[in-house]
Structure 1
Amino acid sequence: MRETEMRDIEELSLPELRTSASGGRDAFTDEQRAEIVDQPDLRQLESRRTKLCVLIGSGILQLPIWGFAMSYGVFQEYYFDNWTLEGDRNTTGVIGTTANGVMYLSMPLLFALFTRHWAHRRQVAAFCGIVIACVSFFLSAYSTTVWHLVVTQGITSALGCALIYSPTTLSLGEWYTTSNRALAYGIVLSCKNIVGTSCPFMLRALIDAYGYKTTLKAWTAILGGTSILAIFLVPTHPSKLSIHRTRSRKIPWYFLKHRSIYFYSLAIIFQSSGYGIPQTYLSTYARDIVLLSQTSGTLMLALFNAPGIIASAFFGWLSDNKRIRLSAQAVAAIPPVCSALATFLFWGLTTQGGIGLLILFSITFGFFSSGYSATWGGMLKQMESESAERNEAVDPGMLYGLLNGVRGIGYASGGIASVGLLNAGTISVSQRFGYGTSYGPLILFTGLSSLLGGWVVLWRWNPKRLLPLVSGS
């Protein structure tokens, strides 16, 4: 009986607790309920807006970070035609590949620093990078010897750009999860290729209209303005802002025990050593061998970068696609093998005045080689799954930085080799084709290194891992 009475008292008292002093029964509860329902939606909307801003900011940053390196062929052509500095002008061929190499080689260290220890200092580091890059390009306008150019345009400016790139790219990877990270990388890489397509024309127009020194000063202003705007759009992920205060600051290195990291690293080194050569020498080849004008040479460089706008998004989509389930190995092997075929069949067989094959080479090689970086999202996903199977911790940001670092090894080695190959003489084949010119050794090197980049991945041939409809690990 007492239990029944107590239950009745509780049932009577509960409504009274939900009644406001003014008699507005359930009014506060309804507002609370609406707020509870709306809060997840508001948080989700805010997260979407932030992720969109991160994607936009990362896209804008491709201009100051990669604009000069991807358009260096324009400056290379100018140096050859208007040489006024002390030193061997052939040395300028190293600047473009050195800039790329230094940027990529510094990334493992920078990614390691900003992944955990200095994650809360990412935006400060990016602003320091802006200052270093701007000062370097401004000083390069007053260079008097070739080594001044190598230092300012090839080394210090690249270090500044790497300081901008590393912390912001880490934040991009953290705002986008494994389910859509490869696509996000692909979209940003597409923006990079938009930069590579438009910048050669812009820089060529500036050089023709205002001269070399004014162009470098204008580029300094462009770099500073766009970088400052974009960095504010890429905030550090909340999960990383206080990690420097915790004990879990050590980077997990368990992935070094897995074979995948070594196969992919070797493949990236081979692919990258050949990728930078057409970017540097395509304009001068178009002028010296195919006998095209300066404008046509710049057009070749733009055609080289333009297909990457589609390719990067495509290969990023292919890596994340759930309908066409190709393994990471299969996707990673497609670009270098196709790039090798384009080099051997199109670039090597060009003739004087034969603009058709050179255009075909620029488009096909540009499409597949530019889209290669977008396959890294699939590589990361595979290595993350391997770690999950072994119940091991893994930091995808650190992995991405390491892949960029080995790409720098490829760029640097390809740049150093290109100077010697260009002076090696011709190959004893028909002088009508590209193989028989002074660029013949460069063509063979580009094709073979690209082929090796695909062969290293295919060397682990396993039909269950490579065939469609089977996801590889």
Structure 2
Amino acid sequence: MNDANQIRLQESRASAIHELDSSDAEQRTMDLEQIDSRQAESNRKKLSVLVGSGIIQLPIWGFAMSYGIFQEYYSENWIFEGDRSITGIIGTTANGVMYLSMPFLFALFTRRWARWRQTAALCGTVIACISFFLSAYSTTVWHLFATQGILSALGCALIYSPTTLSLGEWYTTSNRALAYGIVLSCKNIVGTSCPFMVRALIDAYGFKTTLKVWTAIVGGSSIIAICMIPTHPSKVSIHQTRARQIPWHFLRHRSIYFYSIAIIFQSSGYGIPQTYLSTYARDVAMLSQTSGTLMLALFNAPGIIASAFFGWLSDNKKIPLSAQAVSAIPPICSALSAFFFWGLTSKGAIGLLIIFSMTFGFFSGGYSATWGGMLKQIERESVERNEAVDPGMLYGLLNGVRGVGYASGGIAGMGLLKAGTIVTSQRFAFGSSYGPLILFTGLSSLIGGWVVLWRWNPKRFLLLMSRG
């Protein structure tokens, strides 16, 4: 009897163990399925964010990157009251206002106001649309400057900042630079196609209708893209708990300062060709309007490849280049292009001007994609010091620094164009009224690369000065 009970007891235990094993196996299978489902959903959202971030480059940057066409139209068909030269700083001011406002907007939406990102982006769309629509009825140059150079830029910045924060949060440090590079490539696609579109619209329908059509494009594309870029779940729930303060420890790092100085110099030179290349092609090189539009498109087109390339180079582990080395390549090569290609162009020399547009556009257009490497370096330094860092806020700060460069470059460009000619051969561009602009573009780009390689070491600087 005892033996029979013992046998039944063993059988019941074996059955219970089997049932537990089966239950564990089923639970593990369900867990794996849930993990796979969540991973697939996350991948779909990441793809949606990437595509939406690419689309939204059109309303944000389309006008600023095509402003040279408007600048050319204004100079040929002056219908406004006021100083003509002010139109030369509208494009660079728009870029400057956008970038300068980004640190403040990134700070607002990175944590406490994270749940309002999509709402804020939609509000920015409304502001941008109203600004472009009102600019179609401008009668004075200051009204044009206020609507196109300031108000529309504030609206576009309000679109850009929340959506770019979400992009950086959906992509981790291992592939963030590549994601930024792909999105920046889309930005350069916009810069390549929009000049032709704007030129065609102006020639066919005139200035006012073109701006009204652009208003519709900004509104439609922005709404579609914003709906495709959800806020990361980790940020949506922040308002339900006590929001943490933004960590500012990175301001004690020397890296942030020499990178900021480099970005200021690079950006001050980068905006000059975007604004004046089209008018230079017409006034000095004596090329047609179509050629001027082509120069602007060729200036932006290489950035499509360059942004993805420099983003990949910043993330690549097979070619172990430092963030300093990668970020120094674009400005130094841009400087060489300005000196040897733009500076040596002459009347009717469309070939050399095309080479300049493509080489300068490639290296300067891909510069922003190197920021992913800068962010990784500063994040790594923070980890070594056991400090917290917010990559989104850091990226916004770099954009703000770039705004300083754009604004200063635009103001300097307006003065340099009035400065006269450099004492040199009148045969080349250096000897034209654009000579000071070309020299400024090359020197500012060169300093932007030199500062990064120098690593801003005061002791080394003083040693060199003593030897000199």
Mapped contact 1:18–1:29 kept (Cα < 8 A) = no
1:347-374 CA deviation, whole Å, 9 max, x = no partner?
0001001111111100000000000000
Give the match for residue 466 of structure 1: none
Deviation at 1:268, TM superposition (A): 0.1
Q: CA RMSD in A?
A: 1.9
Deviation at 1:273, TM superposition (A): 0.2
Mapped contact 1:307–1:366 kept (Cα < 8 A) = yes
Q: Which amino acid aligns with 2:438?
A: I
Say if 2:161 is the partner of 1:128: no
Cα distance in 1 for residues equivalent to 2:61 and 2:433: 29
Say if 2:275 is the partner of 1:280: yes
Change in 2 beyond 3 A, CA 1:28/1:448 = same
Cα distance in 1 for residues equivalent to 2:7 and 2:150: 79
Change in 2 beyond 3 A, CA 1:26/1:382 = closer
Give the match for residue 154 of structure 2: 159
TM-score normalized with structure 1 length: 0.93
Give the match for residue 408 of structure 2: 413
TM-score normalized with structure 2 length: 0.94
- Identity in percent: 79
Say if 2:421 is the partner of 1:426: yes
Say if 2:362 is the partner of 1:367: yes
Q: Which amino acid aligns with 1:356?
A: G
Deviation at 1:29, TM superposition (A): 6.5
Cα distance in 1 for residues equivalent to 2:349 and 2:235: 54
Change in 2 beyond 3 A, CA 1:170/1:428 = same
1:377-399 CA deviation, whole Å, 9 max, x = no partner?
00000000000000000000000
List aligned pairs for 1:320-359, cutoff 5 A. 320-359=315-354
Deviation at 1:7, TM superposition (A): 12
The structure 2 residue matched to 1:310, chosen from 305, 314, 326, is: 305
Give the match for residue 81 of structure 2: 86
Cα distance in 2 for residues equivalent to 1:460 and 1:252: 24
Cα distance in 2 for residues equivalent to 1:53 and 1:408: 29
Q: Which amino acid aligns with 1:12?
A: S
Give the match for residue 221 of structure 2: 226
1:181-233 CA deviation, whole Å, 9 max, x = no partner?
00000000000000000000001000111111000000000000000000011
Q: Secondary structure at the match of 2:230?
A: coil
Mapped contact 1:66–1:195 kept (Cα < 8 A) = yes
Mapped contact 2:258–2:456 kept (Cα < 8 A) = no
Give the match for residue 205 of structure 1: 200
Cα distance in 2 for residues equivalent to 1:72 and 1:264: 28
Mapped contact 1:70–1:279 kept (Cα < 8 A) = yes
Cα distance in 2 for residues equivalent to 1:63 and 1:456: 32
Deviation at 1:170, TM superposition (A): 0.3
Change in 2 beyond 3 A, CA 1:460/1:10 = farther
Cα distance in 2 for residues equivalent to 1:157 and 1:47: 34
Change in 2 beyond 3 A, CA 1:351/1:18 = same
Cα distance in 2 for residues equivalent to 1:446 and 1:363: 15
Give the match for residue 38 of structure 2: 43
Q: Which amino acid aligns with 1:159?
A: L
Deviation at 1:149, TM superposition (A): 0.7
Say if 2:453 is the partner of 1:458: yes
Give the match for residue 71 of structure 1: 66
Q: Which amino acid aligns with 1:281?
A: Y
Mapped contact 1:129–1:159 kept (Cα < 8 A) = yes
Deviation at 1:30, TM superposition (A): 6.0
The structure 2 residue matched to 1:254, chosen from 226, 232, 249, is: 249
The structure 2 residue matched to 1:399, chosen from 394, 397, 403, is: 394
List aligned pairs for 1:167-182, cutoff 5 A. 167-182=162-177
Give the match for residue 470 of structure 1: none
Q: Secondary structure at the match of 2:344?
A: coil
Cα distance in 1 for residues equivalent to 2:415 and 2:379: 40
1:386-443 CA deviation, whole Å, 9 max, x = no partner?
0000000000000000000000000000001111100011111000010111001100
Mapped contact 1:319–1:378 kept (Cα < 8 A) = yes
The structure 1 residue matched to 2:55, chosen from 41, 52, 60, is: 60
Mapped contact 2:112–2:243 kept (Cα < 8 A) = no
Cα distance in 2 for residues equivalent to 1:396 and 1:77: 39
Give the match for residue 15 of structure 1: 15
The structure 2 residue matched to 1:145, chosen from 115, 123, 140, is: 140
Q: Which amino acid aligns with 2:131?
A: S
Cα distance in 2 for residues equivalent to 1:382 and 1:317: 15
Change in 2 beyond 3 A, CA 1:213/1:31 = same
Q: Which amino acid aligns with 2:256?
A: I
Say if 2:208 is the partner of 1:196: no
Q: Which amino acid aligns with 2:260?
A: S
Number of residue pairs matched? 454
Cα distance in 1 for residues equivalent to 2:21 and 2:340: 78
Cα distance in 2 for residues equivalent to 1:160 and 1:421: 30
Deviation at 1:11, TM superposition (A): 7.0
Give the match for residue 242 of structure 1: 237
Give the match for residue 378 of structure 1: 373
Cα distance in 2 for residues equivalent to 1:7 and 1:177: 58
Q: Which amino acid aligns with 1:342?
A: S
Deviation at 1:459, TM superposition (A): 1.0
Cα distance in 1 for residues equivalent to 2:152 and 2:293: 23
Q: Which amino acid aligns with 1:201?
A: F
1:276-312 CA deviation, whole Å, 9 max, x = no partner?
0000000000000110100110000000000000000
Q: Which amino acid aligns with 1:291?
A: M
Give the match for residue 103 of structure 2: 108
Deviation at 1:88, TM superposition (A): 1.3
Cα distance in 1 for residues equivalent to 2:31 and 2:376: 35
Q: Secondary structure at the match of 2:218?
A: helix
Cα distance in 1 for residues equivalent to 2:78 and 2:219: 28
Cα distance in 2 for residues equivalent to 1:109 and 1:226: 25
- Which runs of no fewer than 5 residues in structure 2 stay unpaired? 458-468
Deviation at 1:375, TM superposition (A): 0.1
Deviation at 1:12, TM superposition (A): 1.9
